[in-house]
Amino acid sequence: MRRGLWLWLIGVLWLGGCTSPAWQPPTAAYAPASGATPALLPFATPVRKPGEMPPSPTPNPPRPLPTLRAREQRYQVQPGDTLAVLARRFEVGVQAIVEANHLTHPNLLSVGETLTIPAPTPAAAAPAFKIIPDSELVAGPSNAAFDVKAFVAHAGGFLATYREDVHGTTMRGDEMLARVARDYSVNPRLLLALLEYESGWVTHARVPASQRAYPFGWQAPQREGLWQQLHWAANELNRGYYLWRVNALGAFVLADGLLVRPAPSVNAGTAAVQHFFALIDGLKAWQHDVGPDGLAATYRRLFGYPFDYAVEPLVPPGLAQPPMQLPFEKGATWYFTGGPHSAWGDGSAWAALDFAPDDLPPNGGCIVSKAWVVAVADGLVVRAADGAVMQDLDGDGYEQTGWDVLYLHIAAEGRVQPGAYLHAGERIGHPSCEGGIANAAHLHIARKYNGEWISADRGLPWVLDGWVSGGTGQPYDGFLRRGEAIKEACQCRQAKNSLSR
């Protein structure tokens, strides 16, 4: 935990003056003596032999950063806009927008109001220190067999005894963390390290009330409690990771409104962690948290040196997609309703496509369709619950390795069971609204490779029965092309988006 001495004193008072505080500042509790190796918790592997030097992070060739705007621009406020939203969209500090528009009530924007958005002015440059490899950001091969429950139980902290009501079901803390890590495809070790660093939940049995509501540090009323905090953290880690992947992260907008220009030589996993801390830190705290004595030190204490786990390259150059077919039966008519968009949440790669069957009411609705979703390729079903089916195409039983396909919004009734091996064209289940957020029954389908969501609009387009996916730069907008034929994504049932096999 890293919140400083004044929070430590509050914690002592909260414990009724107990002389054994619930946590201590990192300088007192976590920092090893000079030259010493941090003591590792059990399950922290791999461990190097005495005297063996740790591997150096693989150098990344400097990338050209996106060019920041050189001039101010005008913007008309839209529904849902806030200054914080606009600051991140335009990579400019909140205070800069306030001053440019002489706003006396910055929390009260009017739809249709025209604002002047000043040009970004970075206050500092980010360090080139690499925090984690990419394979420690995603739920990939390096953490495929990591046992969250066993680690949390042995650590013996507040997380091990924590319970929370989630949609009418009581869930343990380790269950919540493992599920969020799985769904977003974010490394559970990283979530545990962040949780420990921000609030001490992993190894400290007693946590003061000030650290219970917002254990990841994002203090928004709608994000209170571990379940909501986990979703926020995983989503934002993904956002930073995949924005860096597509060279769309030109600056970090810090919580104090200052801008920091990224270091062009860091990797996507490091950029993701830097993005996470930018949301909750001012400049001084951010510089510490993303440096060697920040989260990196806590990660080493819990799990060892992160680059010992590196799987590089996570996505090999020249990777080819295995043959895949459209996800419905021959003779059926379906509609291409969603072009490339986020695979999970709104921060991951635009790896997902949407398809809807022909038997829905004209106005949509959340009925369970009688149509069948079918497997796009051969593979083992490794999980089927909560509206989601995950098919492992390499058949090793781990969705963190090799190619995997997510089928989402699959109704429980008639759904394939885990352990089934399906060939392309065999039945998965019926499209519905189950799992995630949906206002009409449909299939949301996405690809992963080694835990990384694979975009459907760039790099490695999705090929389904010869139809090749493409995007327009806007989520859900897109096309499928096969030779001269083009199908356009549309929330409609027309010839332009109808498909059959």
Q: Where are the domains of the chain?
A: 74-116, 126-309, 333-500
Residue 96 has pLDDT above 70, yes or no: yes
CA 62 vs CA 120, 198, 420: distances in Å: 22, 31, 45
Please, are residues 131 and 288 in contact by the beta-carbon 8 Å criterion? no
Residue 182 has pLDDT above 70, yes or no: yes
Q: Which amino acid is at 285?
A: A
Residue 36 has pLDDT above 90, yes or no: no
Residue 89 has pLDDT above 50, yes or no: yes
Three-state SS string over 384-408 comes to EECCEEEEECCCCCCCCCCEEEEEE
Each residue of 264-273: b (16+ CB within 10 Å) or e?
eebbbbbbbb
Residue 28 has pLDDT above 60, yes or no: no
Q: How far is CA 84 from the centre of its chain?
A: 20
Residue 14 has pLDDT above 70, yes or no: no
Annotation: CATH topology of 74-116: Membrane-bound Lytic Murein Transglycosylase D; Chain A (3.10.350)
Weakest mean pLDDT among 52-56, 134-138, 227-231, 291-295? 52-56
Residue carrying the six token digits 């979530």: 191
Mean pLDDT value of segment 252-257: 92
Residue 496 has pLDDT above 70, yes or no: yes
Weakest mean pLDDT among 239-248, 265-274, 335-344, 354-363? 354-363
- C-alpha angle 252-255-259 in degrees, rounded to nearest 5: 35
With pLDDT > 90 as the criterion, what percentage of the chain qualifies? 78
Residues 6+ apart with CB under 8 A from 362: none
Please, are residues 194 and 290 in contact by the beta-carbon 8 Å criterion? no
Q: Which CATH class is domain 333-500?
A: mainly beta
Q: How confident is the model at residue 45 (pLDDT cuts 50, 70, 90)?
A: low
Residues 141 and 397: their CA atoms lie apart, in Å, by 12
Give the residue with greater pLDDT, 320 vs 34.
Answer: 320
**Residue 360: both structure tokens together:** 């829905």
pLDDT recorded at residue 59: 85
The chain-wide mean pLDDT, for the chain, equals 89
Please, are residues 201 and 155 in contact by the beta-carbon 8 Å criterion? no
CA 495 vs CA 103, 333, 445, 481, 499: distances in Å: 49, 11, 22, 14, 8
Strands 163-166 and 124-125: unpaired
**Residue 407: both structure tokens together:** 């089928």
pLDDT recorded at residue 46: 57
Give the residue with greater pLDDT, 4 vs 499.
Answer: 499
What is the torsional sign of CA 64, 458, 488, 337?
negative
**Residue 415: both structure tokens together:** 């759904």
Backbone φ, ψ for residue 482 (5° rounding): -140, 105
Residue 128 has pLDDT above 60, yes or no: yes
Which helix (H) or strand (E) covers residue 74, if one does? Answer: strand 73-76
**Residue 51: both structure tokens together:** 């005297």
pLDDT recorded at residue 98: 92
Three-state DSSP state, 6: helix
Residue 454 has pLDDT above 60, yes or no: yes
With pLDDT > 70 as the criterion, what percentage of the chain qualifies? 90
> 487 pairs with which residues across the strands?
480
Residues 422 and 411: their CA atoms lie apart, in Å, by 18
pLDDT recorded at residue 2: 55
Please, are residues 211 and 160 in contact by the beta-carbon 8 Å criterion? no
**Residue 119: both structure tokens together:** 């040009």
Residues 249 and 232: their CA atoms lie apart, in Å, by 19
Mean pLDDT value of segment 393-417: 97
Q: How confident is the model at residue 437 (pLDDT cuts 50, 70, 90)?
A: confident
Residue 53 has pLDDT above 80, yes or no: no
End-to-end CA distance of the chain: 56
pLDDT recorded at residue 48: 65
Mean pLDDT value of segment 180-198: 98
Residues 135 and 303: their CA atoms lie apart, in Å, by 14
Residue 181 has pLDDT above 90, yes or no: yes
Residues 39 and 27: their CA atoms lie apart, in Å, by 15
> 252 pairs with which residues across the strands?
260
Each residue of 123-159: b (16+ CB within 10 Å) or e?
eeebbeebbbbbbbbbbbbbbeebebeebbeebebbb
Q: How confident is the model at residue 8 (pLDDT cuts 50, 70, 90)?
A: very low
Residues 119 and 96: their CA atoms lie apart, in Å, by 9
Mean pLDDT value of segment 88-114: 89
Residue 166 has pLDDT above 80, yes or no: yes
**Residue 356: both structure tokens together:** 């809807």
Three-state DSSP state, 307: helix
Mean pLDDT value of segment 301-328: 95
